[in-house]
Amino acid sequence: MRTSLSSKYATRVLALATLMSAAHADDTPANRGNDPFLHVSSAIVSCPAPRGPFETGNEWIDEAHYRIERGNSCWLAGRCRLPNSYAYDKEIAESVARRLNALNASLQWREKTSLWLTLQRRFVYIDGCVSPDFDTARFVSELGETADVEKVIDRTTVLSPKLKARP
């Protein structure tokens, strides 16, 4: 009888540990939407990497309704040729890469920035650091000319290559 109780207890403890492990794994940030996330320059070494599109399982669930609504609204309004605006992101990532190569000659953005781009539903989010003499407004405007891009959102910080980033 004692063995039976110990065995039942051990089974319950094992089941509980498994559930807790699964719940903890869900707290690990991941790019659950497979949104393109590009590290495009690294001239400012002390620039901290942004979080990008990485989120926990709970955050993903909280965002699900919003992603569905935003993804479909563009098509329903007749502004998109595809039924989900997230479907553009991989194509836009390829176009953005070509656009960035073309822009470097005139803006020298690679030499003056440490940037990451996140593409979500035809929006390009720019995160990272730029040097004080970098023409961010022109860079944002030029990047916005990329085919199928609806909006470019600048979330950069001005940081001299000689200064350290704040934690």
Supply the pLDDT for residue 160.
64
In this structure, is residue 40 part of a structural domain? yes
As a whole number of angstroms, the distance between CA 61 and CA 148 comes to 27
Strands lying side by side in the sheet with 37-39: 37-39, 113-120, 123-130, 151-158
Say if strands 151-158 and 123-130 run parallel, antiparallel, or are unpaired: parallel
In this structure, is residue 96 part of a structural domain? yes
In this structure, is residue 39 part of a structural domain? yes
Average pLDDT over residues 132-150: 96
At residue 66 the predicted structure's pLDDT band, cuts being 50, 70 and 90, is confident
Helix (H, G, I), strand (E, B) or coil at 152: strand
Supply the pLDDT for residue 19.
47
Given a cut of 80, whether residue 23 has pLDDT beyond it is no
- CA 29 to the chain's CA centroid: 11
In this structure, is residue 154 part of a structural domain? yes
Query: Contact, 32 vs 60, CB < 8 A?
Result: yes
In this structure, is residue 134 part of a structural domain? yes
In this structure, is residue 17 part of a structural domain? no
As a whole number of angstroms, the distance between CA 62 and CA 124 comes to 22
In this structure, is residue 149 part of a structural domain? yes
- Structural domains of the chain, count: 1
CATH code, 127:
3.30.1340.30
- 117: domain range? 33-52+87-158
Supply the pLDDT for residue 103.
95
Supply the pLDDT for residue 163.
56
34: tokens are 């497979």
Q: Express each pLDDT in 76-125 by its tens digit.
A: 888 888 888 899 999 999 999 999 999 999 999 999 999 999 999 999 99
In this structure, is residue 104 part of a structural domain? yes
C-beta atoms surrounding 50 within 10 Å: 19
